[in-house]
């Protein structure tokens, strides 16, 4: 299903042109137009799912396989030294386009890019408390 108000639906289905590095019946992989690094690409399902919580398991599985293929292609062709996979869900997590997508970000030694988080330093009791909360 497509969403008429979704820009990634239009891009994924070819209604809006994009710099496509890979395409099959279910996915389009495009260059991000605000790239973190050279070759930063996005895996877009052609059907609309807002995020990881909406996407069916079989489509999610196919999406990560597609990301793996695209990652290998980018790494080889652009001679990347490493690569980050990023997938944001919800505004609080930095998602700006509510159509599920996987970021593929080639990394280069000394590329100066920042992709990460500030590590916390919880006590053992605090970690145990989190585990209890999760496991109920």
Q: Known catalytic residue: 79?
A: no
- On the 0-12 / 13-18 / 19+ scale of CB atoms within 10 A, 38 is middle
Phi and psi at residue 30, to the nearest 5°: -125, 160
Contacts of ligand 5GP in 62-91 (CB under 6 A): 88
CB of 48 to Zn ion, least distance (A): 3
* Assigned token pair, 27: 């996915």
Label residues 68-89 b or e (16+ Cβ within 10 Å = b): eebbebbbeeeebeebbeebbb
CB 25 within 8 A of CB 37: no
Binding mask 5-44 for Zn ion (x = CB under 5 A): -x-xx-----------------------------------
**Shortest Cβ contact with Zn ion: which residue?**
6
Instruction: State which of residues 17, 94, 112, 120 lies at the interface with ligand 5GP (CB under 6 A).
Output: 94
Instruction: State which of residues 97, 108, 111, 113 lies at the interface with ligand 5GP (CB under 6 A).
Output: 97
Q: Tell me the number of residues near Zn ion by CB under 5 A.
A: 6
* Assigned token pair, 41: 């690409």
119 binds ligand 5GP (CB under 6 A): no
Instruction: State which of residues 13, 20, 26, 95 lies at the interface with ligand 5GP (CB under 6 A).
Output: 95
Q: How far apart are CA 74 and CA 115, in angstroms?
A: 18
Task: Give me the residues that bind ligand 5GP (CB under 6 A), please.
Answer: 7, 18, 30-34, 42, 88, 94-97
Q: Which residues are known catalytic residues?
A: 101
């Amino acid at each position: 299903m497509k969403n008429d108000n979704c820009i990634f639906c239009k891009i994924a289905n070819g209604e809006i042109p994009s710099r496509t590095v890979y395409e099959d019946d279910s996915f389009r992989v495009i260059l991000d137009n605000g790239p973190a690094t050279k070759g930063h690409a996005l895996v877009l399902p052609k059907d609309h799912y807002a995020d990881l919580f909406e996407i069916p398991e079989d489509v999610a599985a196919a999406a990560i396989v597609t990301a793996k293929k695209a990652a290998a292609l980018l790494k080889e062709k652009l001679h990347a030294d490493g690569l980050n996979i990023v997938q944001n869900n919800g505004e609080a997590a930095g998602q700006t386009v509510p159509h599920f997508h996987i970021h593929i970000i080639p990394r280069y030694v000394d590329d100066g890019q920042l992709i990460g988080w500030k590590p916390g330093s919880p006590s053992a009791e605090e970690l145990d408390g989190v585990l209890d909360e999760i496991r109920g």
